[in-house]
Amino acid sequence: MCVHVPAARRGEPLRVVVVDDHRTFSDLVRLALDHEPDLACVATARDAAEARARVLETRPDVVLMDVDLGPEDGLRLTEELRVQIPSLRVVVLTAHCDASVMRRTAAAGACALLPKGEPLPDLLRALRHARLGELYVHPGLLPALVAEGSPSRHHHQAPLPALTPRETHVLQLLADGRSVTEIARLLGISVHTCRGYVKTLLAKLGAHSQLEAVAVAGRLGILDAPAGR
């Protein structure tokens, strides 16, 4: 379910906490956020302990979280913070991505996964549009997931699930990193209808999340098929 930000309804800037163990990066992001009228950096943190304190103190709308916090794990911290503040949205940054990182990002309840070094406009866009209940994965990270799930030439495949052309199209758009809202707009259907397609896809593929559905589809070779319109 899409949850809109209370601050946005009041016309106030989104309040952001930046968690990264590189001070230069944090300072640059803070500077960029402070030049955006609809975004405000309320705190930065360099490790998990400081992040816990700053997030509980400031109660931000969004946290920008690095996966690698030195000896500590940003995804474990993400899960912990979201248990304490269920309305908190987290945008995760990673320098090294594989299918395990993507699955753990989804399990932690994050809203977006971006590569470290993402251009600033894309980073700001992710902060603005992160929504609870949805996981946006940058298209540049998806090939790692699909490649890991690709079938071996010597591996016997089970029969493919019977997907309609529209379901196949929705699946391919998910693999392209599109959110449910974006897919609905592209296909000219309601978000409710699009969620229905996603729910059916999860059932047919035996998946528990959109991310897992993409992985299963990659393993079965479904994403290589042409999409219907």
User: Three-state SS string across the chain, please?
Assistant: CCCCCHHHHCCCCEEEEEECCCHHHHHHHHHHHHCCCCEEEEEEECCHHHHHHHHHHHCCCEEEEECEECCEEHHHHHHHHHHHCCCCEEEEEECCCCHHHHHHHHHCCCCEEEECCCCHHHHHHHHHHCCCCCCEECHHHHHHHHHHHCCCCCCCCCCCCCCCHHHHHHHHHHHCCCCHHHHHHHHCCCHHHHHHHHHHHHHHHCCCCHHHHHHHHHHHCHHHCCCCC
Q: Which of 4-13, 103-112, 124-133 has the lowest mean pLDDT?
A: 4-13
> 91 pLDDT exceeds 50?
yes
Instruction: Flag the least confident range among 99-103, 145-149, 207-211.
Output: 145-149
Is the per-residue pLDDT at 58 higher than 90?
yes
CA distance 91 to 66: 9
Q: Nearest to residue 91, comparing CAs of 41, 51, 132, 36?
A: 132
Sorted by sequence, the CB contacts under 8 Å of residue 8 that are 6+ apart come out as: 14
The reported pLDDT for the residue numbered 61 is 96
CATH for 150-224 is 1.10.10.10
Say whether pLDDT at 175 is over 50. Answer: yes
pLDDT interval class at 17 (50, 70, 90): very high
Phi-psi label, residue 5: left if phi above 0, alpha if psi -120 to 50, beta otherwise: beta
Q: Which residue has the higher pLDDT, 187 or 216?
A: 187
Q: What is the pLDDT of residues 131-155, one digit of tens each?
A: 888 888 877 776 655 555 544 444 4
Q: How far is residue 48's CA from residue 139's CA, in Å, rounded to a whole number?
A: 28
Outline which parts of the chain fall under CATH 3.40.50.2300: 6-143
Higher pLDDT, 152 or 27: 27
Structure tokens that stand for 179 in this block: 């959110």
Topology of domain 6-143 in CATH is Rossmann fold (3.40.50)
| Position 46 pLDDT exceeds 50 | yes
pLDDT at 1 > cutoff 70: no
* 220, pLDDT greater than 80: no
Q: Locate 102 and state its tokens.
A: 């993507």
* Residues 190-209, mean pLDDT to the nearest whole number: 88
Mutual angle of helices 180-187 and 191-205, in 10-degree steps: 110
Q: Kindly report which listed range (87-91, 175-179, 185-189) carries the lowest average pLDDT score.
A: 175-179
CA distance 121 to 222: 33
Band of residue 229 on the pLDDT scale cut at 50, 70, 90? very low
Which residues of the chain form CATH 1.10.10.10? 150-224
The lowest-confidence range among 96-105, 131-140, 154-163 is 154-163
